[in-house]
Amino acid sequence: MQLLAAARNFVVDDDAERHRGGRWRYFIAAALIVVATCLGYFWSSMPDSRNLSLVFFGAILLAGMWLGKSAALFAALLAFLSYNFFLIEPQFSLQFAPADFLAFASFLIGAVLVGGLSGRLSDRARDATDRLRDLTVLFEASRDLSRAVAPQDAADRVVRHLEQGGCSAAIWLGDVASLRLASVSLERRDVAAQWSQEMEAFLASNRKDDVREHCWLLRLETGERVLGAVAIWTAEGARTITPDQRWIEAVLELGAVAIDRARLIAEVADATIVMEKEGLRTALLSSLSHDLRTPISTILASATSLQEHDAHFDAETRREMLETIQDESERLNRYVANLLEMTRLESGVLQVRSVLIDPGEALASALERVAPRLKGRCVSRAFHTAGERIFVDPVLIEQALVNLLENAISHTPSGSTILVSAVREHANIVLAVEDEGPGIPQADLARVFDKFFRGRSDRRTGAGVGLGLSVSRGLVESFGGDVRAFSPANSGRGTRMEVRLPVHPAMEPVE
């Protein structure tokens, strides 16, 4: 990979480090040959001793299994010299009879083959173990990085895994104009703070990497996208795996993908918020342009007719037109009031002045306000809260109940009955409005309190902008209560809206 091609110039090579730090292996190999020589010398003093070379082959085989290929070959050469010097006539001399040349050559070839093969197998087994360990650690790193949901979190996880591998690191995110230190190892915090300008200059140079004294700088990128820059320092101490080029390369690749994915998640979340706000704005404008047009048009038509043709209308017609103007004006006023209440609720400037009131009186006051709009509908009252009190704002709770009553009026035909009740259930007062309308489809029941939501029947009849129930829920929740909708309410028809408000502690009986 071009991005990390200079790693070999900075990171300590695993094999070279093993050879430099593993000189003890050659001393152990020599010790094995010394032991084999002593055993062979003792064996040669016994009568009818044979096959002294097998002792050396055993030592060479152990050296290959324990110490690796290079140590095994060293042991093979040392065994050849020791065997010739100590055990073969003339002793204590490297000379040998010409007739023994073939035997010595066979011994040397056999020793090299045994040592080389056993050492090679041992090295491969050790490499396979190291690779499996590396893959396990990288797999755990991949799983950990996949859980990052923010670029900052992903950068912290990358630094942590580099520290576990034996490197300390610092990560800067952004481009040259907006580069910022996102994460750094604790022991490099003071140093990294002084490197910000260096990292900006490094990114501006468009170099893939830069090797400094005890530090390696490189660009953090995925594909053609530059995510930032990384500084890596060697670190002392315990580590899970050797920090070689391939391991660092894999961790940084995983980290770049995790950071880019977290960045995309953040961008998608921001875009979703913008889309939701735009959707609400579009819904509001659509509702205002469509639903407010009807009352305005009706008011304008009635007023214009009265102004231009008043002489042609009798008293009854003029009265009906004036009633129409009044009804549509009140309807328009309700729409605007709900819009204002929703704005106050969402902006957090709603001022609540709560006092102890009788829940039945709140319902009665709401019924009095909607009485002119009942138009032939009957109201059945069932108030069973004598002596109970709720701690609410009288004006706001009345507005919430008026919205529920107007919703029932809008969805019931003339001549039907609307049941209004107030009862106590355990520690709550339940104020309910139940109508005999067609009811709410189960698919729409969970959304009836959402802003701008109107059911299919509402869209056909143009009943409101879809804010009344949403405003009621917001107002009731400001008092610590909640609103629920149930449909069908009775005999497979109708809707029941319930407002649940806690009984004020002052009204609870003392045990």
Q: Is residue 458 in a domain?
A: yes
> How far is residue 54 from each of residues 25, 31, 49, measured CA to CA in Å?
22, 17, 12
Output the pLDDT for position 433: 92
Q: Is residue 99 in a domain?
A: yes
Q: Is residue 32 in a domain?
A: yes
Let me know whether 449 and 370 are in one domain.
yes
Let me know whether 58 and 81 are in one domain.
yes
Tokens 């204002």 locate to 340
Q: What is the pLDDT of residues 399-416, one digit of tens each?
A: 889 888 988 888 888 888
Output the pLDDT for position 464: 54
Output the pLDDT for position 461: 47
Q: What is the pLDDT of residues 20-79, one digit of tens each?
A: 346 788 888 888 888 888 887 777 666 555 666 778 888 888 888 888 888 888 888 888
Let me know whether 330 and 428 are in one domain.
no
Q: Is residue 416 in a domain?
A: yes
Could you tell me what percentage of the chain is helix, strand and coil, using 3-state DSSP and rounding each to the nearest 5?
A: 60, 15, 25
Output the pLDDT for position 46: 65
Q: Is residue 286 in a domain?
A: no
Output the pLDDT for position 278: 67
Q: Is residue 275 in a domain?
A: no
Output the pLDDT for position 430: 92
- Supply the CATH number for residue 164's domain: 3.30.450.40
Q: Is residue 451 in a domain?
A: yes
Domain end residue (candidates: 266, 301, 316): 266
Instruction: Sort strands 496-502 and 428-434 into parallel, antiparallel or unpaired.
Output: antiparallel
Q: Classify burial at 258, counting beta carbons within 10 Å of its beta carbon; exposed 0-12, middle 13-18, buried 19 or more.
A: buried
Let me know whether 356 and 485 are in one domain.
yes
Let me know whether 423 and 495 are in one domain.
yes
Let me know whether 83 and 160 are in one domain.
no
Domain end residue (candidates: 330, 345, 360): 345
Q: Per the structure, how many domains does the chain have?
A: 4
- Among candidate residues 406, 417, 388, 483, the one with its CA nearest the CA of residue 445: 483
Helices (H), 414-497: 442-445, 456-461, 468-478
CB contact at 8 A, 211 and 9: yes
Helices (H), 165-244: 189-193, 196-204
Output the pLDDT for position 252: 83
Let me know whether 356 and 335 are in one domain.
no
Q: Is residue 278 in a domain?
A: no
CB contact at 8 A, 413 and 374: no
Let me know whether 189 and 255 are in one domain.
yes
pLDDT-flagged residues of the chain (< 70)? 1-22, 44-52, 96-97, 99-100, 103-104, 213, 234-245, 276-292, 294, 334-335, 338-350, 451-466, 505-511
Let me know whether 326 and 410 are in one domain.
no
Domain interval for residue 303:
293-345
Output the pLDDT for position 423: 92
Output the pLDDT for position 3: 37
Let me know whether 424 and 497 are in one domain.
yes
Query: How far apart, in whole angstroms, are the C-alpha atoms of residue 123 and residue 334?
Result: 85
Let me know whether 357 and 502 are in one domain.
yes
Let me know whether 246 and 389 are in one domain.
no
- Among candidate residues 456, 471, 378, the one with its CA nearest the CA of residue 420: 378
